Amino acid sequence: MSGPKLWRGQTLQDRSSERREQILDVGEHLLGTGGATAVTMRAVTREANLSPRYFYESFATREELIIAIYDRLEAQLLERLLGISLDGGLRVTLREVFERFGDFFDEDPRRARILLREPLADDTLHNHSVSRTPTFIRAVIPLLGAEAGELAPPNDEDLAIAAAALSGALVSIYLEYADGRLVPDRDRIAQAAVEVVFALSSAIRTGN
């Protein structure tokens, strides 16, 4: 029985996966520099030097591509927390979390535009980010050690409220800082973010 057909040493599946990553890379650049309106099938295929059929091989719509770009970046952001030190207690660990997030965005400002700024302007990204934030929080909490359980809201409804409040506050702080409208340095921004987390967690627990 013969194996999969090869073309220049690659299977058809390999080539398809490679084209998908190429489209994601181009789409990420367009989304991060021109916003959601810049991401069209024509613009992506032109930049990638691919025919439209290869776009639709991987993505049914431009909205599907935009969501995939967001999810790929979110996964990369979450990966930054792997192996984070738990030695200093929860507050110290949380501060390290926000410092790593800051590094992630400062390394490539396009990331901040995609994950933080564009969801404020584009309905597709707004709806997706709102739905993803509680899941992201649930993924982060186990990485912060046993103490972090005290930060987790007791039920899904409270988690949704906390996610909305937390993302709104932290996104606003970071974007104001990135745009130069906040004077504090990034260390003070990270510490402020820690205090926001504890304040919101306390307020939600008190409300119950």
| pLDDT tens-digit map of 31-80 | 999 999 999 999 999 999 999 999 999 999 999 999 999 999 999 999 99
Q: Between β-strands 6-7 and 10-11, what pairing exists: parallel, antiparallel or unpaired?
A: antiparallel
**CATH 1.10.357 placement within the chain:** 69-207
Q: How far apart are CA 24 and CA 42, in angstroms?
A: 14
User: Is 124 in contact with 36 (CB distance < 8 Å)?
Assistant: yes
Q: Tell me the Ramachandran region of residue 83: left when phi exceeds 0, alpha when psi lies from -120 to 50, beta otherwise.
A: left
For residue 182, what pLDDT is reported? 87
Half-sphere exposure of 137 (CA within 13 A, CB side): 23
Q: What is the identity of the amino acid at 181?
A: R
> Among the residues of the chain, which ranges form H helices?
12-34, 41-48, 52-58, 62-79, 90-107, 109-112, 123-140, 156-178, 186-207
CATH 3.30.160 fits 69-207, yes or no: no
For 6-60, CATH number out of 1.10.3720.10, 3.40.640.10, 1.10.10.60, 2.130.10.10 equals 1.10.10.60
The per-residue pLDDT for range 109-135, each reduced to its tens digit, is 999 999 999 999 999 999 999 999 999
The model's confidence at residue 105, banded by pLDDT at 50, 70 and 90, is very high
Q: How far apart are CA 129 and CA 115, in angstroms?
A: 8
Going 144 to 67 to 42 to 31, the CA torsion angle's sign is negative
- Least Cα distance to 35 among 139, 150, 124 occurs for 124
Mean pLDDT value across the chain: 90
Q: Which 3 state secondary structure label does DSSP give 121?
A: coil
**CATH 1.10.10.60 placement within the chain:** 6-60
Q: What is the identity of the amino acid at 133?
A: T
What lies within 8 Å, CB to CB, of 102 at 6+ separation is 174, 186, 189, 190
Q: How far apart are CA 198 and CA 13, in angstroms?
A: 47
